[in-house]
Amino acid sequence: MSNTDFALAIEDLTVSFDGFKAIDTLTLYIDKNELRVIIGPNGAGKTTLLDLICGKTAASAGSIKFKNTELTRMAEHQRVRLGIGRKFQTPSIYENLSVFQNLEVSYPAGRSVFGALGFKCTDEVKARVQVVAEDVGLAEKLDTEAGLLSHGQKQWLEIGMLLMQDPELLMLDEPIAGMSARERDLTAELLQRICKNRAVIVIEHDMEFVKKIAHKVTVMHQGKILAEGPMEQVQADPKVIDVYLGH
């Protein structure tokens, strides 16, 4: 398979912090339209891996190719423009704006045919807001002030804000932390909807949730990949039980 067949091709990726390799010669391929879950003990390097992909942290060595374009020397905003969206653990929504306005301001300037003239085509933006609001289950909440949403709804809004850019790769770091059981179920459905036309990487600890959403699971440990495959295979792997699932 050539690298163009993958949404993301990471090869021999390494990052050192004062000699400590948080990511150590890691190789990982994500298919187009795949929903990959990354699990592993605290400190395994999961968040650092997302930092390297989105450009928050610079790689020390190795390659990250997205749509066959090398990312490692590219600035963070250029990676966003190429189609990479990243959700951090703490939500960053505008609490005083409505759900509609939060989504509207996230529509990428310059994407619209009128973008170059400095204003947005209202109908185009409105249509996109509607589609995204339905995808994230907030279509009934468009006029609600974001600050009044539940914790789970705020998380969905932030996912919606990323979807406004129609990213081809979406990365979510522990998206269900602090959610109720009902919100977790709805998030699983949401992720299944939005991975239809993009690759999604999710870091998560909740094994019931992982089982529901993962196409494939990658287990990280000490900056390396310990195991990778379908959930049942990974769960039955003695190495994985030893360093992670057994605790």
Residue 142: how many CB atoms within 10 A of its CB? 16
Q: How far is the CB of 169 from ligand ADP (least distance, A)?
A: 18
Q: How far is the CB of 87 from ligand ADP (least distance, A)?
A: 14
In the list Mg ion, ligand ADP, none, the entry touching 240 (Cβ below 5 to 8 angstroms by class) is: none
Q: What is the DSSP string of 149-210?
A: S-HHHHHHHHHHHHHTT--SEEEEESTTTT--HHHHHHHHHHHHHHGGGSEEEEE---HHHH
Q: Where does this chain touch ligand ADP (CB under 6 A) — which range of 39-47, 114-122, 133-141, 156-164? A: 39-47
Strand order in the sheet with 199-203: 84-87, 169-173, 199-203, 35-39, 216-221, 224-229
Residue 19: how many CB atoms within 10 A of its CB? 5
Q: Tell me if 45 contacts ligand ADP by CB under 6 A.
A: yes
Query: Which of 4, 12, 43, 78 is in the footprint of ligand ADP by CB under 6 A?
Result: 43
In the list ligand ADP, Mg ion, none, the entry touching 22 (Cβ below 5 to 8 angstroms by class) is: ligand ADP
The phi, psi pair for 24, rounded to 5°, reads -125, 105
Angstrom distance (rounded) from CA 200 to CA 214: 10
Query: Which of 26, 30, 34, 40 is in the footprint of ligand ADP by CB under 6 A?
Result: 40
Q: How far is the CB of 244 from ligand ADP (least distance, A)?
A: 11
In the list Mg ion, ligand ADP, none, the entry touching 169 (Cβ below 5 to 8 angstroms by class) is: none
Q: Which is nearer to Mg ion, 162 or 220 (CB)?
A: 220
Q: How far is the CB of 187 from Mg ion (least distance, A)?
A: 18
3-class DSSP assignment, residue 75: coil
Q: Tell me if 165 contacts Mg ion by CB under 5 A.
A: no
Q: Tell me if 2 contacts ligand ADP by CB under 6 A.
A: no
Residues 45-64 that bind Mg ion (CB under 5 A): 46-47
Q: Tell me if 22 contacts ligand ADP by CB under 6 A.
A: yes
Strand order in the sheet with 6-17: 20-31, 6-17, 61-66, 69-70
Residue 201: how many CB atoms within 10 A of its CB? 24
In the list Mg ion, ligand ADP, none, the entry touching 17 (Cβ below 5 to 8 angstroms by class) is: ligand ADP
Q: Tell me if 58 contacts ligand ADP by CB under 6 A.
A: no
CB 86 within 8 A of CB 174: no
Positions touching Mg ion (CB under 5 A) are 46-47
Positions touching ligand ADP (CB under 6 A) are 17, 22, 40, 42-48
